[in-house]
């Protein structure tokens, strides 16, 4: 089981970025995105609407304290940060934990990440050592973790289905 | 050589998303991001500032017409879209072109992508068949294309260098 924690959401400024982190979490096989910072019903509603149409049971849940969530988390915590160890160095170890059935919490930052996150994480992992995007870092990490198996996932309860196509849009609604 | 085209940028609304697409393009080995829609100096300045501090020669360039860019592009054009063929189906063919030295233009959408983009692209590729994030789709595509080699890239002219660390932030400025 994979969960995601998005830190330090700010209403308005981060609305679309946090929504993207949530949609990436869902599309790449996580079950839930927790988020801290400002509670934002727009983000939660947008994600609910995607789930209703595209299937599955993913959801976004606000939590007050990242510290409590990290301290109480029953499995391993992986913090994605430019300051961490290279993905290639840690991925085999994390993959082994995942295959063994550990519950993984993947943490991605907002603007400033407090030192406690680095200390409470079991792994601090860098997806390149360059600044870019938390949605992108999350996607690449989850893709390596699951070796691309997540890319072809189909949702049985989807109301919208895409039929892959060389050119053009083939979409079914039911 | 890899270039990126980001379609349909809207000032304010997309400022941070387009900046993230640009930073992902840079961090994952592209040389340039072209963008259409509204010209936005904030995006260009933010990316210039990252390049000045973190190294390399990446830049963001506004273009008026995606149609002209696609028509005149000397190499192959790969459009990332939820409607396209699965990544696994096309990646070997694209990789072969890349290794042969073809100039690749990777196209990512904004809100609505016009039909002409699907028709002018040599490949329409889906990074999952679920809605998520153009920054994430771009990162995963470039990661598969380069088989993860881009993750450890170092810039000789960087003013900021991160030393990978298990816990905490180790950063050098020069």
Radius of gyration over every alpha carbon of chain A, rounded to an integer in angstroms? 16
In this prediction, residues A153-174 reach a mean pLDDT of 92
Percent of chain B predicted with pLDDT > 90: 95
Residue A7: pLDDT above 90?
A: yes
pLDDT at A10: 95
Q: How far is CA A62 from CA A126, B101, B136, in A?
A: 25, 47, 23
Percent of chain A predicted with pLDDT > 70: 100
Domains of chain B by start residue, with CATH:
2-173 (3.40.1280.10)
In this prediction, residues B25-53 reach a mean pLDDT of 97
Count of A-B CB contacts under 8 Å = 179
Calpha distance A145→A138 (Å, rounded): 10
Calpha distance A14→B136 (Å, rounded): 16
pLDDT at A38: 96
Of residues B56, B5, B25, the one with CA closest to residue B136: B25
In this prediction, residues B46-68 reach a mean pLDDT of 98
Contacts of A52 (CB under 8 A, 6+ apart): A159
pLDDT tens string B130-159: 999 999 999 999 999 999 999 999 999 999
pLDDT at B6: 98
Residue B34: pLDDT above 90?
A: yes
Residue A111: pLDDT above 80?
A: no
pLDDT at A110: 78
ipTM of this complex: 0.97
pLDDT at B110: 78
Residue A88: pLDDT above 90?
A: yes
pLDDT tens string A137-149: 999 999 999 999 9
Residue of B nearest to A167 (CA): B118
pLDDT at A12: 83
Interface contact B153, partner A, CB < 8 A: yes
From A13, A23, A143, residue closest to B133, measured CB to CB: A23
- Whether pTM > 0.80 for this model: the answer is yes
pLDDT at B168: 86
Interface contact A30, partner B, CB < 8 A: no
pLDDT tens string A77-86: 999 999 999 9
Residue B37: pLDDT above 80?
A: yes
pLDDT at A121: 98
Percent of chain B predicted with pLDDT > 70: 100
In this prediction, residues A118-142 reach a mean pLDDT of 97
pLDDT at A112: 85
Q: Across chain A, what does the average pLDDT equal?
A: 96
Q: Do A83 and A126 form a contact (C-beta atoms < 8 A)? A: yes
Residue A151: pLDDT above 80?
A: yes
In this prediction, residues B5-17 reach a mean pLDDT of 93
Calpha distance B143→A148 (Å, rounded): 11
Q: Give A-chain residues touching B129 at CB under 8 angstroms.
A: 152, 154, 162, 164
In this prediction, residues A39-52 reach a mean pLDDT of 97
Q: Of A85-89, A159-163, B72-76, B109-113, which range is least confident?
A: B109-113
**What is the SS3 assignment for A51?**
helix
Interface contact A149, partner B, CB < 8 A: no
From A83, A115, A151, residue closest to B128, measured CB to CB: A151
From B24, B83, B162, residue closest to A132, measured CB to CB: B24
């Amino acid at each position: 089981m994979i969960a995601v924690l998005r830190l330090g959401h700010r209403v308005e400024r981060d609305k679309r970025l946090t929504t993207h982190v949530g949609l990436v979490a869902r599309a790449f096989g996580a079950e839930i995105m927790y988020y801290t910072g400002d509670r934002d019903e727009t983000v939660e509603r947008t994600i609910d609407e995607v789930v209703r149409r595209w299937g599955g049971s993913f959801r976004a849940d606000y939590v007050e304290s990242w510290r409590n969530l990290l301290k109480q988390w029953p499995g391993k915590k992986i913090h994605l940060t430019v300051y961490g160890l290279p993905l290639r160095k840690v991925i085999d170890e994390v993959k082994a934990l995942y295959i063994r059935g550990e519950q993984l919490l993947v943490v991605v930052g907002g603007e400033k990440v407090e030192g406690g996150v680095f200390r409470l994480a079991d792994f601090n992992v860098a997806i390149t050592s360059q600044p870019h995007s938390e949605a992108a870092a999350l996607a690449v990490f989850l893709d390596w973790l699951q070796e691309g198996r997540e890319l072809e996932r189909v949702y049985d309860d989807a109301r919208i289905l895409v039929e892959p196509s060389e050119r053009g849009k083939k979409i079914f609604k039911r």
